[in-house]
Amino acid sequence: MRNWPRKFPWRTLGSRMRELELDFPGLRIGVAEYDDGPTGCTVFHFAGGATVERDVRGGSPGTFGELDWVDAICFAGGSLYGLEAATGVAAELFAQRDFDTGWMSIAAVAGAIIFDWGTRDNNVYPDKELGRAALRNAREGRFPLGRRGAGRNATVGKTFGLELAEPGGQGGAFRTIGETRVAVFTVVNAVGAIVDRKGNVVRGHLDRPTGARRTLVEGVEERVAGGRPVHPAPGNTTLTLVTTNQRLERELLRQLGRQVHASMARAIHPFHALTDGDVLFAATTNEVENEALDSVALGVIASELAWDAVLGAVVD
């Protein structure tokens, strides 16, 4: 077992991965991974900066940078140790700005982490070098889907124990309404199972001997009737970014985040549990006005995109 993940070679975007294509000028996305974990991080770099609000609902969150304006947001594995990746993003921005120490040039980076140990037995985590690599790799117009970046070793469906876990990942969805652009990106490492739009569980709660997927209620009732305790595995988190270019006052941006985060319980069940660290960032670049699309309607669109993003994280 190696002690210092910074000695490992990292892997960045490849040519064979599933990707979401999007048209969001000024938003650059990059990932970097350690195969030796496996683990990774995902960076969202706003070239012109963005106003941000956060909605923290899980019982066990881990966040970095309590800021209301950011240059970048970093999602990472490695639990609290993975927050180091966010400092790497800041360090790389510092270098790209020729080490300018002026007050208005200080890199503003926020971040959050998932616990992606449990199915692996090593001490590899996304460190400063991996954060720097992800930012250097950031590009406009594409977002890798599935077991990539911060979702490299994510798992879902652990309500009845880690032995029933299945792969999670990261997903995204994008839409344009007039001049308004809205995108949702999520890293799904949930204790809950993933539910499609027909109400069917499509990932998690799998009875491997039969291949059947039971509903959460059926599973709880069966265990309680049999005298078996229901103790969900600890170390779960779904991280989400909903971002738009539409101008929103801070209060409206905050409420948009709440609206979208609450809606995600349709796709993940259970959600916001004690053993989850669910965090959503709502960000806007404040570039366009769209009087025909108020914040509530924008939330409706973003909430549907969030469901698409969750499904895109786990369904090939």
> For the chain, how big is the Rg over CA atoms in Å?
19
CA distance 192 to 12: 29
CA distance 55 to 240: 10
Answer yes or no: are the C-beta atoms of 178 and 293 closer than 8 Å.
yes
CA distance 209 to 198: 24
**Helices of type H across the chain:** 84-96, 128-136, 216-225, 250-263, 295-314
CA distance 33 to 67: 26
Please give the span between the terminal C-alpha atoms of the chain, in angstroms, as a whole number: 32
23 Cβ contact list (under 8 Å, min separation 6): 141, 174, 176, 181
Residues 177, 182, 185, 190, Cα dihedral to 10°: -80
Residues 148, 263, 260, 273, Cα dihedral to 10°: -70
237 is catalytic: yes
Give the strand pairing for 109-113 and 69-76: parallel
Of the residues 159, 237, 238, 285, only one is catalytic, namely 237
- The reply to whether omega before 270 is within 30° of 0 (cis) is yes
Q: Cite the active site residues.
A: 237
